[in-house]
Chains A and B, each alone.
Chain A
C-alpha cells in the first residue's frame, strides 16, 4: 500500500505560473523527500525536509511540512517548460520483513504529473 498520496494526480499550467503539489502520509516520519522523474526515467532527488522543520527552500522550490496533518506541499515558482515531469513524495519507514529482519525503505506515492506549456 502507498504511504504517500499526491494531489492532484495531474496538473497543467502555463510557463511562469506557480505549481503546487500536495502529499499526505499515514504514519509518523523522520523526514519526507521529494523526487522528480522525467518521462519514465530515473528519479532525481529534489529536497529533503526533516520532521522538525516546517519549511525549506531550494532555488525555485519551496517545501512545507505539517506533521500534525501528516501532509507536505511542494511549490515550484515561475515554472518553466523544462519542469514538465512527474513528482513524487517519499517517506523512509522502518519495517520488519517475514524473516524478522529490520530494514528501512522508501515508500512512494503515486505521483503528480506536471505539464508546463510554453
Chain B
C-alpha cells in the first residue's frame, strides 16, 4: 500500500462523454502526476500538478485537463472521449516537485470507452 488512492476503480463510458477521475495523494506529498497506460505499454506522462497549478504537460490534447486542491488531492478530466482513451489511468504523488526520488503510485482507474 502506497497511501495513494484513486476512484473509481473501473469506469465504462461512451464516445463523446466526459469523465472525471480522482486521486488522493499520500500525506505530506504536494506533487501529483497523472499517467496513461494503454494495454501492453508503459505509462505515458499526461501532466503534473504542484501547489495547485499545472507544472508540465506531456503530449496530450487540451481535452485532458486537471485540478489540484489545497489538500493536494487531484482530478483528471477528459472531455469528448475517444475510443483510444481506453486505458489504465495512474496517479502518482511525491513529497516535492524534484524528480530525484521515487514516486508513489495509486492502484489506477481502468477506463473503457465504447
Contact in complex: A105, B42 (CB < 8 Å): no
- Considering the chains assembled together, what is the distance between the CA atoms of A4 and B107 in angstroms? 22
Indicate if the CB atoms of B42 and A42 lie closer than 8 Å. Answer: no
Total residue contacts A-B, CB cutoff 8 A: 82
Given contacts A42-B90, A42-B106, A42-B107, contact A105 B58 (CB under 8 A): yes
Would you list which residues of chain A between 19 and 62 have a CB under 8 Å from chain B? 30-31, 33, 35, 40-45, 48
* Chain A, residue nearest B50 (CB): A103
Interface digits, A85-96 against B, CB 8 Å rule (1 contact, 0 not)?
A: 000101011110
The A interface, classified by DSSP as helix, strand, loop or mixed, is: strand
Among the listed A43, A93, A98, A99, which residue makes an inter-chain contact with B43, where contact means beta carbons less than 8 Å apart? A43
* Cα separation A110 to B37 with both chains bound (whole Å): 10
1/0 per residue B2-45: CB within 8 Å of A? 10101000000000000000000000000001010101111111
Residues in chain B within 8 A of chain A (CB atoms): 2, 4, 6, 33, 35, 37, 39-45, 48, 54-58, 88, 90, 92, 97-108, 110
